[in-house]
Chain A
């Protein structure tokens, strides 16, 4: 289930189940969104991106959904594996800028 800890919200899922990580973005002018995965002690690793002219994009085992009406982004991970355990950040960008605005992150824990 999902819980809110002192800092990062944590999502715990059973291995093999699907995971859904949510993100509310802040700037209605943002038109580019990226999901990053950050493992402990490492830098953010690109997972998937989506432009504002799309509402869904699929990658390998991952799907990003964008709802511009409510400024909401989600990352779906199919058949979650232990290696998916990490903190996931959404980031937003506005056309012509370069200052990624990162969300606070969600910690994903995969239970064996």
Chain B
């Protein structure tokens, strides 16, 4: 199964630490999206990346959060100096192309818990 892979599946951090979440898209997909899901809520768009480019980060907090999708390797969502409010499930999705009617395939998510 060459679907979207995310790791770690579960991540526990203390306040002030850094969290790094990794996402490997479906093989051949060059478009990656990150979403955040709070308990009992729908997913909220954070950022859209293509290889080596951030296309849209309008859903991502201005501070402490960053994302990258290097030419080689997985996409990384990085949260610096985590706070309790960052506790959530973070999902990565990938697609083959951009534009309308373009199905996004989701990974299993990383559940971040901030103590």
A interface residues with partner B (beta carbon < 8 Å): 6-8, 31-32, 34, 36, 41-46, 49, 51, 89, 91, 93-96, 98-105
Contacts and interface: CB of A to CB of B under 8 A. Distances in A.
Interface of B is mostly: loop
Q: How large is the interface on B (under 10, 10 to 19, 20 to 34, 35 or more residues)?
A: 20 to 34
A59 to B, nearest CB: 13
B103 A42 contact: no
B95 interface: yes
A51 B35 CA distance: 23
A33 to B, nearest CB: 10
Contacts of B100: 31-32, 93-96
Contacts of A95: 99-100
Contact of B106 (A45, A51, A98): A45
B69 interface: no
Contacts of B80: none
A102 B40 contact: no
Contacts of A93: 100
Contact of B109 (A34, A36, A42, A99): A42
Interface stretch (B12-20, B41-49, B71-79): B41-49
Contact of A104 (B35, B41, B55, B99): B41
A104 to B, nearest CB: 5
A34 B91 contact: no
* 9 smallest beta-carbon distances between A and B, as pairs: A7-B40, A102-B42, A43-B106, A95-B100, A99-B45, A102-B43, A44-B106, A43-B108, A43-B109
A89 B108 contact: no
B43 to A, nearest CB: 5
Nearest to A105: B42
A49 B31 contact: no
Nearest to A43: B106
Most buried by B among A36, A95, A100: A100
Interface in B13-69: 31, 33, 35, 39-45, 48, 55-56, 58-59
